[in-house]
Amino acid sequence: MEAKAVARYVRVSPRKARIVVDLVRGKSVIQAREILAFTNRGVAEAVEKTLNSAVANAEHQHHVRPESLIVKTAFVDEGPTLKRIRPRAKGSASRIRKRTSHITIIVAPREEA
């Protein structure tokens, strides 16, 4: 029995989000929360929020204690890119790509994963 949470359209580049998500993959939920609390990255807050949502889903749907859960799967997919324009020299313009991410975290009981 797994519980899943997805944070969609997070305004951070997937490359930056993957750095933080790689830190918590395979760890226990308690250990993952500690890692995220002391990670000095802006996206750590969004990842922690997604992790807490997955744990809450496991508690509510499957009546599992959070201490017995581990982060089974965690990955970041690329969301839609917002395209903006920056004025440049001689009347030209260059494109700015504001990337978004979809963060997915799946938690499972320790013996199952």
CATH of residue 44:
3.90.470.10
How far is residue 82 from each of residues 12, 58, 69, 77, measured CA to CA in Å?
A: 11, 34, 36, 15
- Kindly state the greatest CA–CA separation across the chain: 64
Q: How far is it, in rounded angstroms, from Cα 45 to Cα 26?
A: 19
User: How far is it, in rounded angstroms, from Cα 9 to Cα 29?
Assistant: 24
Q: Can you give the pLDDT at residue 112? A: 56
* Domain count within the chain: 1
Number of H helices, E strands in the chain: 3, 5
Distance CA 64, CA 58 (A): 6
> How confident is the model over 16-65, as pLDDT tens digits?
999 999 999 999 999 999 999 999 999 999 999 999 999 999 999 999 99
The model's pLDDT over 8-29, given as tens digits with 9 standing for 90+, comes to 999 999 999 999 999 999 999 9
Domain of 35, in residue numbers: 3-109
Write down the pTM of the prediction: 0.92
- The answer on pLDDT for 113 being more than 60 is no
pLDDT at 111: 78
